[in-house]
Amino acid sequence: MTKILNSEEDSKCSDDYQDVNSTKKETSEEEPNKSIDSIADIVNEDDFNSFGFSKDLVHTLTKKGYKSPTPIQKAAIPELMLGRDLLGQAQTGTGKTAAFALPILERIKTNKGDPQVLVLAPTRELAMQVAESFNAYSEGHPEIKVLAVYGGSDFRSQINSLRRGVNIVVGTPGRVMDHMRQGTLAKNSLKTLVLDEADEMLRMGFIDDIEWILEQLPEEKQMILFSATMPSEIRRLSKRYLEDPAEITIKSKKKDAKLIRQRYITIQNSHKLDALKRILETSTEEAVIIFARTKLITQRLAEALEVANYNVAVLNGDVPQNLRERTVERLRIGGIDILVATDVAARGLDVERIELVINYDMPFDTEAYIHRIGRTGRAGRSGEAILFVSPRERSYLSNFERVAGQKIEQMDIPNNEYINKFRLEKLKKSLRDESSADENGELIIFTKLIEEMEEEYKMEAKELAINALKLATGKSNLLIDEDESWLKQQDNFKRRNDRHDDRNRSRRKNNRFESAMTERDKNRYRLEVGHRDHVKPGNIVGAIANESGLKGKMIGRIQIFNDYSLVDLPKGMPNEIFQNLKRVKIMNKELNISIFN
C-alpha cells in the first residue's frame, strides 16, 4: 500500500496538512466486507480517539494540546497498530515522531525489563529529541522507561540504566554497536526497530553500521523506516529488510506568504533577562509572545517584566481553560501586549497582532521550533522570530535552518546608544502623529493655556514645550546610562564562538575540497579486518598513517564490513610501503592489504 499526501504549510501552523491523493482505493461505506488491512482508509481519523489508544494516552495528548492528527499520523498509526512494517517519506516537522512513537507506546509490554524497541537516529541531538518525545507521550505510563544512548556521554551510566531495565532505547549507530558488542544491550527481546532520518544516516556514512545492527536483531520484528528523501541505497535497504511494508509519502508544498524573519543571539544564561528587556524595548509595538521551557520560568519572567512596567500575562499548564480564553481574547484586542507561554499552553494559538516571537529557552526539537515561530506572520502579515542560544546549543541551529528552509541571522543585543536613539525617534514620531489629532476639541484650550502661561509667568513657548515633554516622559530619565560592560563581554564571547564556528566550517570545506581534488588519484584496497575484530575507522587511519607516512587527509573513504574493510589510498604507492602494510596489525590481526577489484 502506498499513500501520497501533500502538506500545506499555511498561516495557522506547520502541522496543518491536506490529503490530496492516495494510490490505494478508498473503501466506501456501502462495502459489506472490509479487510483488516484497509483500516487506515476506513477509520474516522478526526481525533486521536479513533485509533484505539488507551484513555491514559488520549488524556496525555489532550493535556498537551494535540487535537487532530497530521496526515502522516493518520496514515501511519493504523498500520503500525496492526504491527505492519512501514516505509515513510516525510520531512522533519510533519509530526512523524508521534506517528511512530504513539503506536509503539500502545503496543509495548511493560512487564518486561529488556529493551523491546530500538530507535536509530543520525545525531545525538536527534536521539535526545526523540527520547524526550517518548517521555512526553508516556506521561500517563510512568512504568515505561526510555533511554538515549550516544557518543560523548558516560558509557558506564548507560550500562547501569540498561541493567536496571529499559523498554525503549534511542541511540546513534556507533554507540548502539558499542553496547551490542559489549553485550550490555540485550537483543533477543527487541520487537521493533525504527530508522529515523535514514537518508541522513546514509549521508553520514552509517549505512554499513545500520546493516550490521540489523543482522544482530531477531528475525521476527516490526521495522519502521522514515527518510526525507529516498535514494537508491535506502530503497535497497527497505526491500531487503522490510516485509510487505505500508508505504507513505508526505509531499511538502511551500506557502506563498512572506517568510518570517528569523534571528538569533548567542547569550550566557546569566544575562538572558537583561537581553530580553533590551530587545523588547526596541521591538514591535504590536503583541509579543515569549516561549519558556517550564511553568516556573514563565511565572518568573512575567513578574520581572511587570516590575519593568510591561503589560504582560502568563499562559501555562496551570492556567484554567476559562482564564486561558480570557487571556487570549485580551491579547487579541490589545489589552495585553506580551504573553509568556510554554509550548503546550500556546499550541494552536492564533492571534493576528503577534508580530514577534522570542524563544527565551531553546525548543526541545525542530517541530516545536516551527510551531513556535508559526505564531507570528499570521494572515499574510510580516513577522519576526528571535532565538536565544547558549554556546552549547549553537549546534542545533543548522537543524532549525534546515526544517525552516531559510538562514537564521545572528543579531546584536541593543546597547545604550541604540536604545537612546530608538527612544528619541519614538518620541518624535509620537509628537508628529499627535499634531493633527484633536478628537476632543482641546486644541483651543491648550492654545489659550499656553498664552496665559506666557503672559502670567513670562515663559517662552520653547520652555513650556520642554516642561510638557518632561511631564509626558514621566519621572524616569528619557535616556539610559546603564552599565553595559556585560555587553562588551558578550561581544568578546560571541566573537570567540564565531571564530570557532568559522574554523570548523573552514576545516569541513578544506576536507571536502581535498577529498574531491584527490579522489581520482586513489585506488580502493581491501583490509582483512572488520566489525568482528572490533575495528573502528580511527584504528585504520592510525595504523596506515603511522606505517606509510601518509597524512590523514590523504586516506580516503573507509567502509567497515563484518570480516573485512575497504579504504581508498593514493595511486602509485611504493611497493615497499605496500608490503609493510600487509604485515601491520590492528587488534592483533594483520591487515593483509590487497587491491580491491
pLDDT digits (tens, 9 = 90+) for 248-278: 988 654 443 346 899 999 998 889 999 999 9
Residue with cell 536496571: 164
Confidence of residue 359 (pLDDT cuts 50, 70, 90): very high
User: So where are the chain's domains?
Assistant: 2-8+45-253, 261-415, 417-473, 516-595
At 437 the pLDDT is: 57
Residue 529: name the closest of 549, 519, 544 by CA.
544
**Mean pLDDT for the stretch of residues 471-479:** 76
Task: Give the pTM.
Answer: 0.49
At 44 the pLDDT is: 47
Confidence of residue 458 (pLDDT cuts 50, 70, 90): confident
Alpha carbons 407 and 398: distance in angstroms, whole number: 9
Instruction: Please tell me whether residue 271 adopts helix, strand or coil conformation.
Output: helix
Amino acid at 67: K
At 310 the pLDDT is: 92
Residue 114: name the closest of 154, 161, 80 by CA.
161
At 12 the pLDDT is: 34
Q: Are strands 2-8 and 246-253 parallel, antiparallel or unpaired?
A: parallel
**Mean pLDDT for the stretch of residues 403-431:** 86
At 459 the pLDDT is: 86
The answer to whether residues 6 and 251 touch, using CB atoms and an 8 Å cutoff, is: yes
Pick the CATH number of 2-8+45-253 from 3.40.190.10, 3.40.50.620, 3.40.50.300, 3.10.20.740: 3.40.50.300
At 14 the pLDDT is: 34
Kindly give the interhelix angle for 55-63 and 96-107, rounded to the nearest 10 degrees.
150
Instruction: Give one DSSP letter per residue of 394-407, joined into a string.
Output: GGGHHHHHHHHTS-
At 496 the pLDDT is: 66
Q: Minimum mean pLDDT among 181-190, 202-211, 379-388, 486-495: which range?
A: 486-495
Confidence of residue 380 (pLDDT cuts 50, 70, 90): low
Residue 223 CB-density burial (10 A; 0-12 exposed, 13-18 middle, 19+ buried): buried
For the record, the C-alpha cell of 44 comes out as 474516522
pLDDT tens track for 213-251: 999 999 999 999 998 888 888 999 999 999 999 999 886
Question: Quick check: 3 pLDDT over 70?
Answer: no
pLDDT tens track for 74-103: 999 999 999 999 999 887 667 889 999 999
The answer to whether residues 389 and 31 touch, using CB atoms and an 8 Å cutoff, is: no
**Mean pLDDT for the stretch of residues 530-558:** 78
**How many of the other CB atoms lie within 10 Å of CB of 383?**
23
Alpha carbons 511 and 553: distance in angstroms, whole number: 7
Question: Quick check: 210 pLDDT over 60?
Answer: yes
Give 33 or 327, the one with higher predicted confidence: 327
pLDDT tens track for 10-48: 333 333 332 323 333 232 333 333 333 333 443 445 678
The CATH number given to 516-595 is 3.30.70.330
Say whether 261-415 and 2-8+45-253 share the same fold: yes
Alpha carbons 376 and 364: distance in angstroms, whole number: 19
At 312 the pLDDT is: 96
Residue 420 CB-density burial (10 A; 0-12 exposed, 13-18 middle, 19+ buried): middle
Question: Quick check: 293 pLDDT over 80?
Answer: yes
Residue 596: name the closest of 525, 539, 494, 531 by CA.
525
Torsion-angle region of 592 (φ positive above 0: left; ψ -120 to 50: alpha; else: beta): left
Residue with cell 544516516: 201
The answer to whether residues 10 and 255 touch, using CB atoms and an 8 Å cutoff, is: yes
Residue 475: name the closest of 320, 346, 309, 296 by CA.
309
At 22 the pLDDT is: 31
At 448 the pLDDT is: 85
CA atoms within 13 A on the CB side of 214: 18
Residue 411: name the closest of 283, 279, 263, 268 by CA.
263
Question: Quick check: 175 pLDDT over 60?
Answer: yes
pLDDT tens track for 114-171: 899 999 998 877 888 899 889 989 988 888 999 999 887 888 999 999 999 999 999 9
At 217 the pLDDT is: 94
Instruction: Give one DSSP letter per residue of 124-175, joined into a string.
Output: HHHHHHHHHHHHHHTTT-TT--EEEE-TTS-HHHHHHHHHH--SEEEE-HHH
Question: Quick check: 464 pLDDT over 70?
Answer: yes
Top CATH class, 261-415: alpha beta
Torsion-angle region of 17 (φ positive above 0: left; ψ -120 to 50: alpha; else: beta): beta
Question: Average per-residue pLDDT in the chain?
Answer: 80
Q: What residues contact residue 553 under an 8 Å CB cut-off, 6+ apart?
A: 511, 514
